[in-house]
Structure 1
């Protein structure tokens, strides 16, 4: 409301005829110049200096504008009007300035001082500096009884049928007039351009948020409202520089941006009051699209936009009223306070549009200001407040949800910690039970079986001292293997082989067999746990025991190598080669025999490790190979 009061004050602020070193000129002489062209001459024409044909008119003064003109007016010569302002001799003898609050027409304006042109409007004839006050230096004052008064002529060349208007003029010193010029320039131009730039920046931020939060289209709609409002107000801040696009296209964007902004506002409001109005929404969108298509500046379609602006604005004003009334009704039905405030303010666009339309057609005092851009400022502030409230509401909702999640997460963590401790205790019990069961099974199958065989032999008197000693040695070897399997191998097969060498070397030496060690570095085997280690040790023990009993070898070579390949094909090989009788078993040895049972156990243990074994002969004796994978599939 403060801005509306300021605008009303500016509209009524005319001051007296004299205001401390400034003169308010409210009368002028007026005449037309038939047959003149668009371009103003550098010097005042003699025909204009002639006193004939001049008529005194009050300032502000306007020439009537028709509602719409045909395309023929675009190629017709202009209507040229002249205004003659005579400066009184009582002005102070200082540098004087001319301050003109507003002029408006579609055409070219030039100002002459004492017959010499000092100003000419530049850029576009259509989108010119109509909303910018004019400030011109006139030179030294005319004080003194013998000085001739200065005379200012204003030449206005206008497109036929569109008319033109000029405000009253002020002449005086810079100190007396500059504050008026600065205040009106700020309100009419700087305020609109600065707030438009701020709105566009906020709209870009909203676009960035909307692209992240795609489920909340209100941010994207806020960006659309900001862009369309900025486009709508561009023609109010145009200066002497021409627009970056052709006049027709600039006019098309400026006019239709009003309809685009209404569509964006209506879509935004649907998200605010959550009232579905599909028929009205589609009707508004269709009418805006139809208006945009029909006003396209293309040949053979319609006259150029600037020639039918009043008629287009009447249609858009009626559409504004429909949007305002429907929005108020929907917000009332939905009991949406935000929607009521939004459309209550938006409804002010209807009287503002009527005011601006009458001002554009020179029905009002031309020194008034256009109200539409200032209503856009208020409307955008309401949009910003709504989005800000929604944003804060979303943050509070997230904080509330996070607080609930944190409490539930803490409770869940306590439950998981308790469950984890229970699982660890149960896992320890299961591990101990499994290890106990494995040891019992190994002792039963190995040491227990050997001891039971020895006991029966002794009880039946079939065991000699040597046989008994051999059985006891086997039992001791089995016990040592079980103990070695419990030692942490850290996936190191070489360390385990070294322990086996340490255990069996004395026995091999006692049997007269030389053991050579031809191993190389091997990669770690992650799956080599105590149970797998025992399988490997028992395989190698069975093979070495068979060599001691049956091969009559005098030398044994144990070697390792790495087979290249990926995790599924690569592996390590343990090779045992002797110089005795080669043992090459058939595909399957009879399981009833001890040899068949031993070979079956070796194959079974190798398959349990995910590997395989092979017996072969070479030119110097026999050979056994055990292939083990680098990684083993988990069953």
Structure 2
């Protein structure tokens, strides 16, 4: 058993919009039907202007051509034809479809005679103002037999939706003509219509003409142009965001609507393309626009209605193909039939859009669908008006319905755009909050890591100092202690051990005070600490230290290794070489810096192989192993060579060379010192 849905279908806010839209539609229809009445005065004649509601009507016999003659036929001019009194506006009925041969046949020509009431000549000139004339053909105006206006351009797509403004007098202050003749040449079977006429001065009629031009053509032309501009912007957005299909649909709808509006806004300027192609574009653009509106409506919420889409596209495509200019069927001959087909498509679009909007509970999509449904009565009214079934002094409602559709389009796109902005702002706010939280966590972690690094550095330095004191001072004290316990430690030996311990301690302190990379200051500290000891041993120190490149890798730990190496070498010279002088110098080359220690004592031949750290060589102490272990720890090299004669004042003895690299060496853990 299916569970009843807990979702209550409460009245949608769109229902209120439905009522408002239908009221707006009724107001538009009323304005269209009574459009001419809004401009009429209470009386037939105003100050300097006459509103003509009666005219003489005479259909000219067959045989007249399309081109209006320079002067009307004599029988028309002198009133010898049987004029029929008709009320204005006057129309001749139009058939729903005509033969294509009528487009090339001779026209049906009718004449209207307007009698201008006698009166004073307006000071600002006399003008004829017709709110609308309509037919497939042309019109000519004669004032007292003189041709004053003749329509030009296309006979099919003429300026039927623009009011006619014709000066009747040659100059300002000239008397108004007594008779105005209007010649209308129409394609056979299409009929024709003419509205009531106004004759008077410019000051009385110009504002009426301007208001009418604005309502019928100018406003809709400006709106269509504005929508095309916005559509181009939407197309640019779609080029960047291809997933947002509604932007390209908006662009396509704006272009189709602009093509349709041309027939309502064009004047009598000749067309840049043929009548057939212009008619095909304008007649079918309404169907294309409806297809875009439908696709926009169902996709604004991600819905798909494939069957309905295929049906609508097939109908519009069929009409477009059947009316192609290459085929014998002419658009203007079946224009009412095309409009009736489009009314059916509009009903399908409106019903499908309302269903999709109801499913998704989208108020504005529902408003769009409801407004599209309102175009049905507007289209019916426009079809009746184009077929002269209602007064032609009304306004075509199709352009205004399109303006409403685009206004709703803009609202939907605007709401989608602002909604996307709000979503991005919300996401950004959330990201900023998470980022701030993560930054706080990283800052706390960094502080902990920094504290651990400092503690690790202190522990490493403490361990290094303890290791160095153990290997240096501790080793010397333990050796002295064992000698004392064995009764072999004399007073002189005690003083020597204590001096060595003091020297070790001072060298350790000097390595801590050393500010890295300065080898010369390190050697100067060595000279300061061991100079007195060398002097007490009766050795002469020859100092040949010169400027050398800085060693960036020389940190306190490495500096202590260098000091211990040189200390061990100098101690061995004092104890074992029997030298009288010692020379310390520096050199440098592309590979590194060399520290040279020369003595004039007994020659020394170190073993060729380097013993493992901590081992001893027969006949030798642990000093040589400690030197090589420390050299290996700092990535340096050391050599002992026999002296080659007197150098730096020293005799033939030994030369110790400590080669320190310029770049960061590959370090190894040193052995015990």
Q: Give the structure-1-normalised TM-score.
A: 0.80
Gap change, CA 1:521 and 1:157, over 3 Å in 2: farther
- Match for residue 59 of structure 1? 88
Contact 1:92 1:141 in 2 (8 A): no
Rounded Cα–Cα distance in structure 2 between residues aligned with 1:579 and 1:207: 87
Contact 1:91 1:143 in 2 (8 A): no
Structure 2 matches for 1:338-377, cutoff 5 A?
Answer: 338-377=364-403
Match status 1:98 vs 2:124: no
Rounded Cα–Cα distance in structure 2 between residues aligned with 1:632 and 1:234: 84
CA deviation after TM superposition for structure 1 residue 326, in Å: 1.5
Structure 2 matches for 1:108-507, cutoff 5 A?
Answer: 108-139=138-169, 149-204=177-232, 206=234, 217-243=245-271, 247-272=275-300, 275-297=303-325, 299=326, 301=327, 303=329, 305-397=331-423, 421-460=447-486, 475-476=501-502, 478-487=504-513, 489=515, 492-494=516-518, 497-504=520-527, 507=530
Contact 2:108 2:186 in 1 (8 A): yes
Rounded Cα–Cα distance in structure 2 between residues aligned with 1:201 and 1:304: 32
CA deviation after TM superposition for structure 1 residue 459, in Å: 4.3
Rounded Cα–Cα distance in structure 2 between residues aligned with 1:263 and 1:577: 95
CA deviation after TM superposition for structure 1 residue 181, in Å: 1.4
Larger Rg: 2
Structure 2 regions of 5+ residues with no counterpart? Answer: 1-23, 617-621, 648-654, 668-673
Q: Report the 3-state secondary structure (helix = DSSP H, G, I; strand = E; otherwise coil) of the residue aligned with 1:318.
A: helix
Match status 1:18 vs 2:48: no
Contact 1:78 1:157 in 2 (8 A): no
Contact 1:446 1:475 in 2 (8 A): yes
Gap change, CA 1:54 and 1:79, over 3 Å in 2: farther
Q: Report the 3-state secondary structure (helix = DSSP H, G, I; strand = E; otherwise coil) of the residue aligned with 1:10.
A: coil
Match status 1:29 vs 2:54: no
Gap change, CA 1:559 and 1:541, over 3 Å in 2: farther
Structure 1 regions of 5+ residues with no counterpart? Answer: 564-571, 607-611
* Residue range with higher mean Cα deviation, 429-438 or 546-555: 546-555
CA deviation after TM superposition for structure 1 residue 383, in Å: 2.7
- Match for residue 659 of structure 2? 625
Rounded Cα–Cα distance in structure 2 between residues aligned with 1:435 and 1:451: 22
CA deviation after TM superposition for structure 1 residue 320, in Å: 0.9
Q: Give the structure-2-normalised TM-score.
A: 0.76
Rounded Cα–Cα distance in structure 2 between residues aligned with 1:631 and 1:382: 75
Give a deviation string over 1:235-288, Cα, whole Å, max 9, x none: 321123345555444444433332332233223222455544232224333444
- Match for residue 566 of structure 1? none
Gap change, CA 1:310 and 1:8, over 3 Å in 2: closer
Rounded Cα–Cα distance in structure 2 between residues aligned with 1:386 and 1:279: 25
Q: Report the 3-state secondary structure (helix = DSSP H, G, I; strand = E; otherwise coil) of the residue aligned with 1:28.
A: strand
Contact 1:97 1:171 in 2 (8 A): yes
Contact 2:198 2:205 in 1 (8 A): yes
Give a deviation string over 1:437-465, Cα, whole Å, max 9, x none: 33223333343334434444454466677
Rounded Cα–Cα distance in structure 2 between residues aligned with 1:411 and 1:339: 41
CA deviation after TM superposition for structure 1 residue 468, in Å: 6.4
CA deviation after TM superposition for structure 1 residue 310, in Å: 3.2
Q: Report the 3-state secondary structure (helix = DSSP H, G, I; strand = E; otherwise coil) of the residue aligned with 2:557.
A: helix
CA deviation after TM superposition for structure 1 residue 192, in Å: 0.9
Contact 2:260 2:285 in 1 (8 A): yes
Gap change, CA 1:165 and 1:516, over 3 Å in 2: farther
CA deviation after TM superposition for structure 1 residue 356, in Å: 1.4
Rounded Cα–Cα distance in structure 1 between residues aligned with 2:427 and 2:46: 66
Count of residue pairs brought into register by the alignment: 606
Give a deviation string over 1:148-197, Cα, whole Å, max 9, x none: 95333334444455443332221122233223212211111222123334
